[in-house]
Amino acid sequence: MTPKANGVRLPTARLRRTGAQAVYDALRRDIMCLDLAPGAALDEGQLCRQFKVSRTPVREALIRLASEGLAELNPNRGARVASIEFADVVDHYEAMDVFMPVACHFAAVRRTSDDIARLRELLGRFSGAVQNKDSAGMISSNYELHSAIARACHNRCIERGYRQMLTDKLRLAQHGLPGTTFDKGSALADRFNGTARISAQLVRAIERGDSRQAEQLARKLNQFVRSQVVAVLSASLGKRIALPLPDRPIRSRSSSVSHHRGKKKAQS
């Protein structure tokens, strides 16, 4: 007999999709909040027992996480939470310096009344999470706010690319590298206060249709977050680091990566 949900019979395929979505949502939340640390094992059998589902929805969830760069699938070693390296930090902020202003420009030009209403709602939710020092709420609402900016572009390619960068950005904003940690709660709220202030200015620029101001504020926001990441990484690694700007050459990038990896091995 086909199982029921709320008194309605559901086909097995739909139940499997529902199970996969639940597993995906829970794992994604734990990865983004660092409850599942970079490099942590994602054992299929354990996940099946945890979520009380078969292997099929677990595998579907892991494949989806891997497509977003949040998990790494290896036939011999199984699935793991995707690691974060110094090179990832450099690559990400270089790309965001270029990509984020473009996304905000299109959002300011093409936003609809529905887009504006959604942005206002999510900005309020994000600001409330910051005031309440709700670390999980800050992360999820910030992602949703900038996802709404991506939707306001009304360009599927930009929206898809920006969403992927947002996923990477929020992981980096909490945890720069293996072996370095960002405090949650009050410390995270202090960093997000600046983000919330600039994000509010950005939403107002998009609402006004001021594409030039939206671009400028997008750069300002990315540079602010970059400075926070640099400060925390420098303190964690015990040395001052620098992330190259788009118009400047990269110097000793490989040595920076090897230095950190060497330090990590020495600490282990």
- Do residues 238 and 126 share a domain? yes
- Do residues 236 and 191 share a domain? yes
In a 13 Å sphere around the CA of 150, the CA atoms on its Cβ side amount to: 20
Band (133; pLDDT cuts 50, 70, 90): confident
91-113 average pLDDT score:
93
pLDDT tens per residue across span 160-210? 888 888 887 777 666 544 444 445 545 566 678 889 999 999 999 999 999
d(CA 162, CA 96) in angstroms, rounded, equals 9
| Residue 162 lies inside a defined structural domain of this protein | yes
80-106 average pLDDT score:
86
- Do residues 123 and 174 share a domain? yes
- Look at 36-40, 119-123, 177-181, 247-251 and tell me which has the smallest mean pLDDT: 177-181
| Residue 256 lies inside a defined structural domain of this protein | no
- Do residues 112 and 232 share a domain? yes
Range of the domain at 50: 4-81
Question: Which has more confidence, 191 or 75?
Answer: 75
Spatial contact of 4 and 10, defined as CB atoms under 8 Å apart: yes
| Residue 266 lies inside a defined structural domain of this protein | no
103-130 average pLDDT score:
97
What is the CATH classification number for the domain harbouring 31? 1.10.10.10
Band (235; pLDDT cuts 50, 70, 90): low
- Do residues 120 and 186 share a domain? yes
Range ranked top by mean pLDDT from 8-17, 97-106, 115-124, 162-171: 115-124
Closest to 152 (Cα-Cα) out of 184, 120, 200, 124: 120
Confidence (pLDDT) at 167: 81
Closest to 152 (Cα-Cα) out of 108, 182, 191, 204: 108
Residues 6+ apart with CB under 8 A from 250: 90, 244
Number of domains the chain is built from: 2
Band (244; pLDDT cuts 50, 70, 90): low
Confidence (pLDDT) at 225: 84
252-256 average pLDDT score:
41
Confidence (pLDDT) at 81: 92
DSSP the chain: ---EETTEE--HHHHHHHHHHHHHHHHHHHHHTTSS-TT-EE-HHHHHHHHT--HHHHHHHHHHHHHTTSEEEETTTEEEEPP--HHHHHHHHHHHHHHHHHHHHHHHHH--HHHHHHHHHHHHHHHHHHHTT-HHHHHHHHHHHHHHHHHHT--HHHHHHHHHHHHHHHHHHH--STT-----THHHHHHHHHHHHHHHHHHHHHHHT-HHHHHHHHHHHHHHHHHHHHHHHHHHHTS---PPPTTS---SHHHHHHHHHHHHHHH-
- Do residues 114 and 143 share a domain? yes
Instruction: Answer with the one of 49, 81, 113 that is the final residue of a domain.
Output: 81
Judged on CB neighbours under 10 Å (0-12, 13-18, 19+), 29 is middle
Residues forming beta bridges with residue 5, ordered by sequence position? 8
Range ranked top by mean pLDDT from 7-21, 148-162, 168-182: 148-162
Integer angstrom CA distances of residue 243 from 64, 164, 211, 256: 30, 20, 27, 11
Integer angstrom CA distances of residue 171 from 117, 145, 229, 242, 249: 27, 16, 11, 19, 26
Confidence (pLDDT) at 173: 63
- Do residues 23 and 118 share a domain? no
- Do residues 95 and 223 share a domain? yes
| Residue 232 lies inside a defined structural domain of this protein | yes
- Do residues 67 and 123 share a domain? no
- Do residues 94 and 70 share a domain? no
What is the CATH classification number for the domain harbouring 150? 1.20.120.530
- Look at 63-77, 133-147, 157-171, 196-210 and tell me which has the smallest mean pLDDT: 157-171
- Do residues 38 and 155 share a domain? no
As a whole number, the mean pLDDT across the chain is 79
- Do residues 208 and 108 share a domain? yes
Would the pLDDT of 11 be above 60? no
